[in-house]
Amino acid sequence: MERNKYLLLLLLLSHLIFTGSSSPMSSSSSSIPLVSFLQLLQQTAYETFSNSKTFDPKTYVDLPLKFDLSQTERAFHNLPRAANGAVTVEDLNGYIEEYFEGAGDDLVYLEPEDFVPEPEGFLEKVKNEEVRAWALEIHSLWKNLSRKMSSRVMSEPQLHTLIPLPCSVVVPGSRFREVYYWDSYWVIRGLLVSKMYNTAKAIVTNLVSLIEEYGFVLNGARAYYTNRSQPPLLSAMIYEIYHSTGDIELVKRCLPALLKEHEFWNSEIHKVTITDAQGCTHSLNRYYAMWNKPRPEAYIKDKESASKFLNGSEKEQFYRDLASAAESGWDFSTRWMRDPPDFTTLATTSVIPVDLNAFLLGMELNIAFFAKVIGDDNTAEEFLEISDVRKKAMNCVFWNENMKQWLDYWLSSSTSEEAQVREALHQNQDVYASNFVPLWMEPFYSDISLAGNIVESLKSSGLIRAAGIATSLTDSGQQWDFPNGWAPLQHMLVEGLVKSGLKEAKSLAEEIAIKWITTNYIVYKKTGVMHEKFDVEHCGEFGGGGEYVPQTGFGWSNGVLLAFLEEFGWPEDRKISC
């Protein structure tokens, strides 16, 4: 407990120093000067280019400066303006061209040294020539997504919101021009299929450097992401690399960072204590961003969403719940709304999520494994005990015996200061793909009886559709809802089913994987690109909804596709069509 309090103090102090704030959670605190100015530019651009259907506010906080901030600000304030303060399209375009590099220009293309057009032993189970040729095209996309920091980022970091990293990077694609945390797990899974072990290790080295600098892995490698993390999968990345390479030195280098990350996620803001009906207490974890202002990358949209709140503290709480939903990776979903589909009822910090706690269980088991590998038996034993406590808490708080699923738990408020009394009515009874994510973890998939129940529950859940697993059953217009399907969710559920060893579970896993591979293929052939998400209701259609246009590239989609083809192959005589 004392160690966690000490870590939280350090985190809040670093946040205080970094933002120049007098209060880490204060919405009146001043932001990083560069980010504050780029938010102002974003607002002006929105007003000037308001008729543009492709306007993306993130673009403006990603722009690298050509000159120092004071000179750039002076020129901005000297722009000709109408009586109402408006700037013309011509003047603003001219100013941006003169004073800024392009968004993403501070990362330059790099061909990875470990890339070869067709690696030895690549996808040996894929016998169909058409599918194999396509898989090699997907493999080649790692070249398109590989970057290194420009020399200016390293020499003049004050001109960039991009955070300098020590190694080359693999980006998701399109508007996601920087490294992202949980995306990187599935990128690494694909890189391992592609035998690109050094590129995979470089990703881990970058993420570890963020822990060493900030105390946790940031949502993404941008100055405006320093207020939150993302689903904690770094230990899983290291485990997969170790499993493929046996690199014990990597484990030794990374274990201290993993211990620090575990403390971050078990700090007071993330930890909630539940008292169940038998009077037993359980500690579980939630998402909780260290932020109560509009997200800089969505500044104008967040302000608009919060405009209905007249009370300042309500507005601050809404902003915190917005940022916390972004920390979850599920931005956005009815899963976080008290009154779906009303977006303004977002209350992420009042939810104890099933999947976050499954990821933390995995982290604890991985730390125990790594400690054992390097001969630290005391740490190994400590974390096995910690993981056992979490498993029991998950079963007590999340498991629903009638539905045979783990359900998110709603708190009466977002406070974590007092133990919340658990009642069954506080479980979210709606069906989400996340309800099945614990099956991805060994303590659950190794329980044969439990796995059999999960198979039947998943089959009857309504989530399995024509082209894969739906994120939810609610069509809210949000991207982490129906009819969208996402590569990470397909992979976690399919891999959990396969690892259970049950014949019917493996059969269901292959059925889902075939659907997913097929829709990826058809969309790729129609559009020439890989997409971030897919419409699982209609085979051969990519996904939509949410606060930005559909993105292409795409890191985790490529990684999951390659992982599925490695696991299941593709017979020569099996057609690939909807």
Spell out the long-range contacts of 339-346 with Cβ–Cβ below 8 A and sequence spacing 24 or more: 340/430, 340/474, 340/476, 341/474, 341/476, 341/477, 341/478, 343/305, 343/478, 344/305, 344/306, 344/308, 344/309, 344/318, 346/318, 346/321, 346/322
Rounded to 5°, the CA angle 428-343-412 comes to: 40
The three-state secondary structure class of 49 is coil
Element (H or E) spanning 399, and its range? strand 399-400
Task: For residue 444, give every residue at least 6 positions away whose Cβ sits within 8 Å of its Cβ, in sequence order, or none.
Answer: 438, 450, 451, 454, 496
Cβ–Cβ under 8 Å, residues 272 and 411: yes
Note if 475 is an active site residue. Answer: no
Task: For residue 249, give every residue at least 6 positions away whose Cβ sits within 8 Å of its Cβ, in sequence order, or none.
Answer: none
Options 240, 261, 297, 331, the catalytic residue: 331
Q: Two tokens at 122?
A: 């690549």
Dist CA 42 CA 33 (whole Å): 14
Dist CA 96 CA 79 (whole Å): 11
Note if 532 is an active site residue. Answer: yes
Dist CA 345 CA 297 (whole Å): 21
User: Which segments within 512-571 are labelled E, that is strand?
Assistant: 533-535
Options 56, 106, 532, 541, the catalytic residue: 532
Q: Two tokens at 196?
A: 């690109």
The three-state secondary structure class of 405 is strand
Neighbours of 423 (CB within 10 A): 12
Dist CA 360 CA 236 (whole Å): 10
User: Which residues participate in catalysis according to the annotation?
Assistant: 331, 532
